[in-house]
Chain A
Amino acid sequence: MKNSLKNIYDFISDHLYFYRPDLEISGEKYNSTLLFSLLTAILQGKQLIVGEPGLGKTTSAEYICSVFYQIPLGTIWLSEIAGHPEQTEEKIVGRPNLGLLNKGIESVVWSNFVQLPVKIVDEINRLPETKQSIILDGVDRGNWEYLNEMFINDEYCLFATANYQDLGTFTIIAPMLDRFDVMVESKHPGANISYLIGPFYKKDELLRHERYEKELNKLLNSRLPYKTKMERTEKVCEKFGKYLKKKGLKPVSKEERKAIQDQMEKLELDLDANAYLRTLISELSFCYKYGQKRANEKCEEGCHFTGYLCHSIKNCISNRFPISIRVYAQALAWLLGEKQVNIEHIKTVAPYALSHRLQWKEEFVATHEKEVRVDPLPIYLAKVAVDRVLERYGEQRESIKEALAIGYSVSQGEEIALLEGDHPIYWEIKRDLGEL
């Protein structure tokens, strides 16, 4: 199954999405957008893709979704939502069945966006802040509500794209940002690769199939019960999968997708990955003075913990962060054929899971924004932060693990002194054991 995913990755990189590698893991080079998009598709995650216009943000998501879920590109295009100020709930989620409404029956016609397991919101930051709330719950849980009806997706992944700020964009609200597991940038591939894209302008044809697109559209617009509709949809998708197989792809069936997810979930974090993640979270949530970080509370002048990340950020990291980092690190470890999630997997995923969730203080931004880099500032700052915590963890990894081990013994009733240390993780252990 790993080979199937690698085959998808290679197929897309060879035929559809041209890039420069910008990520190295275990000696192998990857493109962060493509790699994370693949992981998002497997995990049924939520990914925000940012970048300049025309650099493949939407198309990369479309290709991944099409290949991974065996859905023809035309059907995916039909289900996409475009962000713009006039967008309405009726176009995004569903609308009343007007025919039935005339007969006094209230019934909802769900949009293709809601029904399909792959969801793409193009230019999400062109949706005004108030309208972003329409998709908040759906993005988070896959629950879509309209009138008195609810539609629940049992399988779905979501991709949203965003251009950098211009006259037509709005701010993506913090609760929306937090719901994205990862944020990546679709980068310019460089002059030489860009030059080669020209002859491939008809590359979309590879993933088009008019007949299956029509069949799927008919099914999605039918009044069949959801379960039946999805079963029939899956059958059409399987036929499209066979078609893709002839093109050199080895598609992944729904059962295989489930099996892959089960295998990924079973991968445990090794002790270093576990302790490092705790160390990272402690720096992003700890406050000695006020109990935890809060966006409306400022750090005290001359605080003892000035050297840690808690002093460089304004907000507190959410509980969605450890979930995102864990599942993506598990997926990455699985893809690389590892038996456990190690610190390298956590370190690789962390900046992409953090960059959109952190609000940095001006001093931290000012210190780093002019440094030489290849990533957009939020991802770069997150990488700097992750490296710093890794450095601190490296210096005291044995002590931190020992402190956690002692924490276990004390929790079991043993009377031993907790390990003292300067890092917030030691303070958090004390708090959990009621010693502060």
Chain B
Amino acid sequence: MKNLFSEFKNFRPKRREIPLDNIITSKEKVMQTLIKSYNKLVEQEAKELVWLVSYHSVIRAYASAEKSIKNMEYGVEDIEEFLFEIEDSSKLPYPIMGLSGIYTAALCNHAKEREIVFDLRNRNITLHLLGYRLPEGKKLLVYGDLGDFTGIGLNGGEIWVEGNTGNWTGAGMKRGKMVIKKNVGRRTGEDMVGGEIYVEGKILGIGNIRYGRVYEKGEIVSL
């Protein structure tokens, strides 16, 4: 008997393309670029897998991060996805939180979107240095806790944290506004030269403030 399907002998199916596949592929490509650039930053800045925070090391690391993300096409969802990748050590071999924060800060500062929202609740991640040099016109809203040096060198942007922040919050900030819904650590507002920090919980310690204002539960504490 003739093969019932002989007309289909030479049929080769076309690769099925659905829009979602293209989106996923494009997102994966962006993520690979972000991870590659982050790993390069870690290799440059972290000697023997240690990165010490100092005035100069932060400036240098930020400059490197800015350079590596130049001309890169990404969006807020990609930054959020990157934060998930940081949590997964199998994909990122050296998740150093200080550098992660600096790198994320650079991504936020150069993102196309004006408002950036991160949900870090129930996440196994503590980001330091987030909000570094956040420029005017940008707003960063974080659900969950942030680590040390949150919003340092704030440059006119606005940071809302629906949680706690660590030590040196708002250190060296120039302009802008920070609102922390829970508690902040020691040296809050150290060397700040402008702007306002509103803390709705407790402040463990105030730093040496030059200019600018710090409020605790609505009361000014920076005088």
* A82 interface hit (Cβ, 8 Å): no
A269, A275, A398, A411: the one within 8 Å of B4 (CB): A411
Please tell me if A56 contacts chain B, counting CB pairs below 8 Å: no
Contacts of B6 in A (CB 8 A): 408
**Which of A176-184, A364-372, A399-407 lies at the binding interface?**
A399-407
CB distance from A68 to the nearest CB of B (A): 32
A407 in contact with B5 (CB, 8 Å) = yes
For residue B7, CB closer than 8 A to chain A, the reply is yes
- In the bound complex, residues from chain A placing their C-beta under 8 Å from that of B7 are 269, 271, 274, 404
Which of B8-16, B96-104, B141-149, B195-203 faces chain A? B8-16
Residue of B nearest to A401 (CB): B11
Find the A residue at minimum CB distance from B2.
Answer: A411
Q: Is the CB of B13 within 8 A of A405?
A: yes
A411 lies within 8 A of B8 (CB)? no
- Residues of B close to A86: CB separation below 8 A: none
Asked if A412 is at the interface (CB within 8 A of a chain B CB), the reply is: yes
A412 touches B11 (CB 8 A): no
Of residues 115 to 161 in A, which have CB atoms within 8 Å of B's CB atoms?
Answer: none
Known contacts A411-B3, A412-B3; is-contact A404 B16 (Cβ 8 Å): no
Nearest B residue to A407, CB-CB: B5
The CA-CA distance from A404 to B9 in the complex, in Å, is 9
The smallest beta-carbon distance between B5 and chain A, in angstroms, is 4
The 0/1 profile, CB within 8 Å of B marked 1, for residues 418-433 of chain A is 0000000000010010
Number of interface residues of B (CB under 8 A): 12
In the complex, residue of chain B having the shortest beta-carbon distance to the beta carbon of A269: B7
Contacts of A398 in B (CB 8 A): 13-14, 16
Name the CB-closest residue of B to A270.
B7
Docked-complex contact A404 and B11, CB < 8 angstroms: yes
Q: Which of A379-423 contact B (CB under 8 A)?
A: 398-399, 401-402, 404-405, 407-408, 411-412
Pair B5/A271 contact, Cβ less than 8 Å: no
A432 to B5, CA, bound (A): 10
Asked whether, in the complex, the Cβ of A271 is within 8 Å of the Cβ of B14, the reply is: no
Contact with A along B1-33 (1 / 0, CB 8 A): 001111111011110100000000000000000
- Minimum C-beta distance from B200 to chain A (A): 54
| Bound-state Cα–Cα, A412 to B4, Å | 11
Number of interface residues of A (CB under 8 A): 16
Write the B87-101 contact mask toward A (1 if CB under 8 angstroms, else 0).
000000000000000
Q: Which residues of B contact A401 (CB under 8 A)?
A: 8, 11, 13
- Least CB distance, A29 to chain B, in whole angstroms: 32
The residue in chain A whose Cβ has the minimal distance to the Cβ of B3 is A411
A405 close to B8 (CB less than 8 A): yes
| A269 partner residues in chain B, CB cutoff 8 A | 7
Q: Are B4 and A271 in contact (CB under 8 A)?
A: no
Separation of A402 and B10 alpha carbons in the complex (Å): 10
B14: A residues at CB distance < 8 A: 398
CA of A399 to CA of B13, assembled, Å: 8
- Give B101-131 as 1s and 0s: 1 = Cβ < 8 Å from A's Cβ atoms: 0000000000000000000000000000000
The answer to whether B9 touches A408, judged by C-beta atoms less than 8 angstroms apart, is yes
With CB as the reference atom, state the residue of chain B lying closest to A429: B5
Collect the chain A residues with CB atoms within 8 Å of residue B8's CB: 271, 274-275, 401, 404-405, 407-408
Residues on the A chain within 8 Å of B11, using CB: 271, 401-402, 404-405
Give the residues from 30 to 58 in chain B that come closer than 8 angstroms, CB to CB, to chain A. Answer: none
Which residues of B lie under 8 Å from residue A408 when comparing CB positions?
3, 5-6, 8-9
B17 to chain A, nearest CB (A): 10
Residues of A within 8 A of B5 (CB): 404-405, 407-408, 411, 429
Residues 212 to 269 of chain A near chain B (Cβ within 8 Å): 269
Give the docked Cα–Cα distance between A401 and B11 (Å): 7
B6's closest neighbor in chain A, by CB?
A408
Q: Which residues of B contact A405 (CB under 8 A)?
A: 5, 8-9, 11-13
CA separation between A402 and B11, bound complex, in Å? 7
Residues of B within 8 A of A402 (CB): 11, 13
Q: Identify the interface centre among B3, B7, B16: most chain A CB within 10 Å of its CB.
A: B7
Residue of A nearest to B15 (CB): A398
Most chain A beta-carbon neighbours within 10 Å: one of B5, B12, B13, B14: B5
Given pairs A405-B9, A407-B4, A408-B9, 13 additional interface contacts (CB within 8 A): A271-B7, A271-B11, A274-B7, A274-B8, A398-B13, A398-B14, A399-B13, A401-B8, A401-B13, A404-B11, A407-B5, A408-B8, A411-B4
Q: Please report A residues at the B interface, Cβ cutoff 8 Å.
A: 269, 271, 274-275, 398-399, 401-402, 404-405, 407-408, 411-412, 429, 432
B residues near A, CB below 8 A?
Answer: 3-9, 11-14, 16
23 A-B residue pairs with Cβ-Cβ distance under 8 Å, sorted by A, are A269-B7, A271-B7, A271-B8, A274-B7, A274-B8, A398-B13, A398-B16, A399-B13, A401-B8, A401-B11, A404-B5, A404-B7, A404-B8, A404-B11, A405-B5, A405-B11, A405-B12, A407-B5, A408-B3, A408-B8, A408-B9, A411-B4, A411-B5
The 8 A-B pairs at the shortest CB distance, nearest first, are namely A408-B5, A405-B11, A407-B5, A404-B8, A405-B8, A402-B13, A404-B5, A398-B13
